[in-house]
Structure 1
Amino acid sequence: MASRKTRDKTEKAPRGDEERRPRKGASVISWILLGMVVLGLGGYGITNFGGSATTVASVGGTKISVDDYGRAVRNALRAMSAQSGKNITFQEAQKQGLDQQVLQQLVLQAALDDEDSRVGISVGDGRLRQDITAISAFQGADGKFSAQTYKFVLQQNGLKEGEFEAETRKQMARTILQDAVTQGFGTPTTFIDTIMHYVGARRGFEILKLGADDLAQPVPAPTEAQLQAYYKAHPKTYTSLPAKRITYAELLPDQVAKTMKIPEAKLKAYYDQHKSDYVKPERRLVERLVYPAEAAAKAARAKLDAGQATFDQLVKERGLTLSDIDLGDVTADELSSAAAKQVFAAKQGAIVGPVESSVGPALFRVNNIIAAQTTSFDAAKTDIRNELGHQEAKQKIQSQEEHLNDLLAGGATLEQLAKETDMTLGTIDFTAKSATGIAGYEAFRDAARKVTKSDYPSIIQLDDGGIVALRLDKPIPAEVQPFAKVKDKVAEDWTRDQTDKALMALAQTDIKTAQAAGGDLSKAGTVDVQEPITRSGYIDNAPPGLLEDVFMMKKGETKAFQGDESVWIVKLTQVLPPAQNDPDIKKMRDQIAGQGAQGMQNDAFLYFAQAIQAHQGININQSAINAVNAQLQ
């Protein structure tokens, strides 16, 4: 490591064979430092950006060089490309504001560096050496700091020791300043309580459900005049969607597969090749609770046998959850021989062990037994024929695609394709809601939405290996459909509407009956009891907005909710706060507290940084920035 004039003369440079005990978390922190420093100094090779200007900006007396800015932009551009999985040009990144984001970050760092210098915050050589030597990237095969490895890693990243140590020292000083600003912020209890009360509040209520069968007599059949009146009163309901009448020619694997002849020998060969799909050994759904030593495993087993603990409690004692120990379904071959012998001899629900597993002594719980399954060739033959038929059908369709495109390019119509090739013709009135038949294919729907009268048909590939070509015949505007065409639908809608009104009237009568009986809803019919539920809960088939409205009701209040040919009468019986012993509620409270504190810390640091910049002054050299950006094009 490069030395500094201020190094304490009593300190010794670290040796590769030194024993040291790093601070807790030092490895993670140091890795972060290494990453930030490497990115800051240009870990992909240092490039000099020429020109007369040497700085792009300054905060107080701290300058940001053109090289610092250029390298930071390039590194950010590489990171963006790696994240997106494709090469992103500087122009593309600039449209997303990457250059401005980099400049803002550099200005922030410069402001912190200038403030550190002003107030005298610095990191001593001992602390610097402690953190750098704890970075695992600089450790040799023995797990200890290696000066040789240190130099090699820096060389590989195009860094010099002095540069790396200086930038690391700066970053550590920035962290000290940031911690000093953000420490001590916590989320106010009132804030947490308010959110938790809203999110975790519970309501319990009684429900009396009314349906058409509860009416004293069914809704009578509508008269012609009633239907005509309902039809005229709801024109939008009976207005068709705008559509496109489209003619198409299709060639689908399902169609072609029916004509494919697959030899028996080929079917048998496929069966033999995929034998594991048809002959499956016995499997067991298993949980494995591992212990560090056999003595601990035996002690746990003793507690289990004595009834002093359940298996779930043993899991919790190990600081684990059931998902942590779940192995899923396993075969005997996937366990150690000793474990397999006991696990596959046990009954469902049994707990076996301790037994030596591949990761140490363990207890196993057998949750389910999946019997061995064997599907004979004769039983599988039809499915195999369909599978191979579809595979060959796709290949046959693919082999015809170029020829079909040539025919279309030569002026052949879809009708001619259907007549002269294997393609079949069809028509569809395509709307925004079409999703069946040929419109079940996303590629067809996408093409149908875009097609115009001036477009010529071309082959479109479908996701199952099929192909289609289409033509717009004419647009069909939205229009109110003739009464005669929708009369049955009008009758259904009228009957539903009248049923809903009759049920709501019955509900009001039942509510009065309950009120006359002192609020006893059971006097009006059979009542279901809804256990306390939160706003985010779910109730099967509940009328829209029921839960939302229930949380607006007062205790003891009764209200009717309109459903589809049903009415729910709800009486609010319980108004409860969040369940304090619910682990999910506790977890949510901790998350809100943590997120709130983090938000306040971020805000405090942002305002602090802005105050520094405003006090010390920021100077931006836009011409220098433009010059660097021009070289990055």
Structure 2
Amino acid sequence: MLSTIRHKTTSLVAKILFVILIVAFAAWGVGDIFRNSGKSTPVATVGDLEYSQTDLHRDLQLLIQGYQRQGVQLTPDQIRAAGVPQKLVDQRINRNLMQVYTHQLGLTVPDTLVVQTIQSQQSFQGIDGKFNRNQFLAAIRQEGYDEAAFYQRVRDDLQDRQLYRALFSNIVLPQILADEIYSYQAETRTADVLILPSASITDVGTPDDAALTQFHKDHAQQYMRPEYRAATVLQLSPADFAKDITVSDDDIQQEYKNREAEFRTPELRDVEQVVVQDQASIDKILAAMKSGKAFAEAVKEVTGSGPVDLGTVTKDKLQPKELQDPIFALAADGVSAPIKSPFGLHLAHVKSITPASTQSLDQVKNQLRDTIALSRASDSMVSIVNQLEDALAGGASVSEAADKLKLKAISLPAVDSLGTDRDGKELGLRPEVLGLIQQTQSGSTSQLTAMPDGGYAVVQVTGVTAPELKPLAEIKDQVTQDWIADKQRSVATERAKALVEKLRQGGNMATEAKAMKLEIKSSASFTRDVGDTDNGIDVDLARKLFAAKIGDYAQGQAADGPVIAKLTAITPAVAADHKDEAKIVSDKLLEDIRNELSAQFAAALQQRIPVKRNDQLIDKVMAEE
């Protein structure tokens, strides 16, 4: 039964995680990879809601940019092979089904809540921490929304949350299921490990030219020069524009007045206390102090343990509230009178006091000047961005547009997917810019793209040098060393295989290790999905050992050479003994079940709400570049 549960759970988790990944990435920035997909014909219709080619095109762009921010560069072919467009459409159909259903139920969201939700998003806030309308408009435009469409999207999201809470918040996970899966995941094992270093094999010979030629051919992928792209890059940063902005002393003074509370540090007190339940104990502590004992010493003498250290606190952080006024009325090293609260009688000692302070205008003047300048720079940049977009739309190259607007564009003769030039030098490109270069076709210009710091970037790819195999003559020494290392690995692996068979026939691991002058290591406790790579047990070897009995042997591979491992112990995991860890597993399972049920609910809705999809148009979006 448990194996069945494991199989179902693994399948479920994989499916749901993929959907969650798509949903999460659908909120991120852009890259101009797919073009000419802005037609109005819908790829899917749910009730009266349409999901157009333009919508799918935008979501594909956002998905690619989401991967780029994690340093993963995906090509259209990879996206197509993974079936991502179809999955995006499926996800949007399910979402639209929910929206149609919420409308049928009459669920509404107040306008004030929509506005509050939008304004609270950190990505729409300026340097001063307040909602910045220009930044908001630039960000949603970058995602392909106008203001009304984005407003409706947020409203729909909030309505969906209402429905999800009503449908799925009361689902209960069977405890026995959670405990079984926790036990499966958290069980640990240990093993004795013997690594046979490949480098210790010295009798593999030297390759002749024919052997090197064949090895070079068979392992061509190892010796490829990467694709290099020549590009012109133009980046706009608020910091660059801020240099030319003058901020008056009156402006700084007004900003200081508006934000003065940020520069105040409240009084701090280092406090310790004891809580007792009777006046007699209080009297004994005070009497001990009158005899010359320190507060902590007196408390320990009466109660058997020292006072509780509350640390350095502000008045408003002291709890319960009954403590606040009495403790903050004391002098340094003062001891309070007994303070009554629902917890008993408190006796508090103020160990030290840090007075309240306020940074003066002079102290924060430069900081305020920079903040104001950056905020104004972001606003003034809007005009430059619009002019730049107009110039590019008019057919100007990135260099020509930069010259026209007196901006500085950078020419890169060659850059690979890692952001290095032909000499392997790191060019210092931010991931978003590197992603634009990699995803823009030769001879084309990317979209003007918003950057996380509030700036913008646009790239023009002027040439692409395809990957090519390095000539053998150029890398002969490297290929020779690789050939020798490959032969050493092969010989070491065969010897390890023979040794495993010998051990299984009754051989002694310690004796064999001593004969080879090798050391046996004891692994740390490991789980089936992690292993102990520090001691040569990768995930594959860990899973072999989880299929073994104590005393069995298994063979794996580490960076240094083949690994022989003997299972020495099995430690079951009992959920009742690890409640916090088990709860994490339980919560994740509950989330997975809710997501699975929501998908089933969406499937049921398709029986009552008409759904149409056009797979030919979905394929066409991917095909048009």
What is the TM-score when the length of structure 2 is the normalising length?
Answer: 0.46
TM-score by length of 1: 0.45
